[in-house]
Amino acid sequence: MSVVQELTLNSYEGMVDPDWCLGCGDFGVLKSLKAAALELGIPPHEILVVSGIGCSSNLPGFIHAYGVHSLHGRSLPLASGAALANHNLHVVAAGGDGDGYGIGIAHFIHAMRRNLNLTYIVMNNQIYGLTTGQASPTTAEGHKTKSTPRGNVERPINPIALALVTGATYVARAFSGNPSHMTKLIAGGIAHRGFSLVDVFSPCVTFNTVNTYPWFKKRLYTLEDDKGYDPGDFRAALDRAFEWGEKIPTGLFYRAGRPIYDDSEPVLQKGPLVDQPLGLSREQFDELLEETM
């Protein structure tokens, strides 16, 4: 007789405690991801969390779910393969701004234009934290860091605008200092059919002394509080993506329904790859396994 256990937040509690600096915004992201899974009623064995390299990329080890800690900037290719192969999995890629918007930016762009069915949570602290404070792709102009002692001369990437023009069909921005709002955005991204980006302002309390919790709190507002804002309006979303300064928007910028990559792939019309016959004898499979292992 099978026993059905009720899902609680503890159902997603990992065996290893997070080792982030006290006050790191990534704690909030981890908690909101768990809360989002609970809100959607997804059991741990139906979740796969894939990460790259960086402080935030340690996240798969801190949640009770399937997890892969992959290579620097390579979380999305691995997540894409898993999402295409097993449609029963809710695939979540997680990482930092350096990992995703730096070395991994080509994968980021192509995953969005293909509208792959997965969720990408980027913990954007506007600095390289793991390597102790160098300028990242989202570091503001003029920001003095270990790698830019006279001030950063490069313009930062705008991930919201990039996601919009590249083809992501769910584009949102959250803040670690507002976990309940972040939980709703992550849950919406996971439930969405298509590529979902949730860019999170996740302050690095050790190496970024500019973009702090107080700095964000006096500037951020939520798009949901603007009753006239329509997340189905692409042009309006693009306008808000470039809003930066004394007022910075968070929330759901854009959501659209269009076919996902799976719908156009003939081999997947027979069902997920994990449910299809391999087409190899046991002997052939064993030979291939021995050769590659």
Burial code of 50-72, b = ≥16 C-beta within 10 A, e = fewer?
bbbbbbbbbbbbbbbbbbeebeb
Q: Which CATH number fits the domain that encloses residue 252? A: 3.40.50.970
Q: What's the pLDDT at 124?
A: 98
pLDDT digits (tens, 9 = 90+) for 15-67: 999 999 999 999 999 999 999 999 999 999 999 999 999 999 999 999 999 99
| 269 domain-assigned | no
| 40 domain-assigned | yes
- Which residues in the chain show pLDDT less than 50? 1
| 227 domain-assigned | yes
Q: What's the pLDDT at 125?
A: 97
Q: What's the pLDDT at 272?
A: 84
| 289 domain-assigned | no
Which residue is listed with tokens 């620097």? Answer: 72
| 272 domain-assigned | no
Q: Which domain holds residue 190?
A: 20-263
Q: What's the pLDDT at 27?
A: 98
Q: Nearest-CA neighbor of 28 among 239, 185, 245?
A: 185
| 5 domain-assigned | no
Q: How far is CA 69 from CA 61, 83, 122, 141, in A?
A: 8, 16, 15, 31
